[in-house]
Amino acid sequence: MRLTNYTDYSLRVLIFLALKKGGELSTTKEIAGNYNISNNHLVKIIHQLGQLGYIETIRGRNGGIKLAKDPKKINIGEVVSKTEEDFHIVDCFQQCATSPSCKLKDALHEALQAFLMILNGYTLEDLVQNKEELNQLFSSSLEH
């Protein structure tokens, strides 16, 4: 199973924001710099994460972004399901002469469901249990 960069970056944004203390605001520039991701690409991701209710954007001179929900309430499987374009693992999910009786399609569908079931067992809080270690990595990247 391979996720798109869009979903990967969406999860990274949420992890970064979960590390902030007490609703402290962040900026797309700060996140882009820490992950070495295009700021323009992040703007689209942040917009969608806001529409989905995961983050809150505050406009204005002292604006920024922050999580809109407690990290314990952000389910990773749900985020992946909502940000991933599609889950067509192979082209046969689209059209194939053997599609009506193909067992490969069934096996791949079952594997995908297992993948999502595992991710559904994790929250954003689970992914940032090592906050001190993650924050040190981000601080050292800011020093370079």
Tens digits of residue pLDDT in 28-82: 999 999 999 999 999 999 999 999 999 999 988 889 999 999 999 999 999 999 9
Greatest Cα pair distance in the chain: 59
Could you read off the pLDDT of 4-20 as tens digits, one per residue? 999 999 999 999 999 99
SS3 of residue 112 by DSSP: helix
Mean of per-residue pLDDT scores for the chain? 87
Q: Which helix (H) or strand (E) holds 56?
A: strand 55-58
Question: Residue 94: its pLDDT value, please?
Answer: 58
In sequence order, the 6+-apart residues with CB closer than 8 A to the CB of 114 are none
- When mean pLDDT is compared across 75-79, 82-86, 122-126, the lowest value belongs to 82-86
Question: Residue 144: its pLDDT value, please?
Answer: 38
Question: Residue 7: its pLDDT value, please?
Answer: 95
Round to whole Å and give the CA distance between 89 and 83. Answer: 16
Round to whole Å and give the CA distance between 23 and 11. Answer: 18
